[in-house]
Amino acid sequence: MPVISSDKTCQTVITTFEMTPGTCQDLLDALTEAYKGFISKQPGFIAAGLHVNDAQTRIANYSQWQRREDFMAMLRSDEMRAHNRQFAQLCTRFEPVMYDVVESFD
């Protein structure tokens, strides 16, 4: 389970995907498959979550990694590159961005 806390030393990655409502479920299925079969098994993976907007035109993916290098190694792997090519076919654009938590509120 992701924990959002400024006390936690981990790498946070938020990826946004833009798509049409007609491809939203296909992209969710592809993302779920990638997380279950590959991403969640990579060194340094902590947790992730997928979020869909009401119009089914955007997916936000929140993931946490022990270190920035762990995320980068996963991203550069041949298997992840193949997954990213599949994601690119199902959406108009996607962008992973690394963040540091500076504040959190309960």
26-63 tens-digit pLDDT: 999 999 999 999 999 999 999 999 999 999 999 999 99
Q: Does residue 49 lie in a domain region?
A: yes
Q: Does residue 78 lie in a domain region?
A: yes
Alpha-carbon gap, residue 67 to 45, rounded angstroms: 9
Question: Is residue 92 a contact partner of residue 3, using CB atoms and an 8 Å limit?
Answer: no
For residue 75, the enclosing domain spans 11-99
Least confident of 51-55, 58-62, 95-99, 101-105: 101-105
Q: Does residue 104 lie in a domain region?
A: no
Q: Kindly report the CATH number assigned to the domain that includes residue 73.
A: 3.30.70.100
Whole-number Cα distances in Å, 28 to 18, 41, 42, 65, 101:
12, 19, 20, 21, 26
Nearest to 53 by CA among 86, 21, 91: 21
The domain total for the chain is 1
Q: Does residue 106 lie in a domain region?
A: no
pLDDT at res. 85: 97
Q: Does residue 26 lie in a domain region?
A: yes
Q: Does residue 87 lie in a domain region?
A: yes
Q: Which DSSP string corresponds to 28-58?
A: HHHHHHHHHHTGGGSTTEEEEEEEE-TTSSE
Q: Does residue 4 lie in a domain region?
A: no
Q: Does residue 62 lie in a domain region?
A: yes
Nearest to 41 by CA among 11, 3, 77, 84: 77
Q: How confident is the model at residue 91 (pLDDT cuts 50, 70, 90)?
A: very high
pLDDT at res. 45: 97
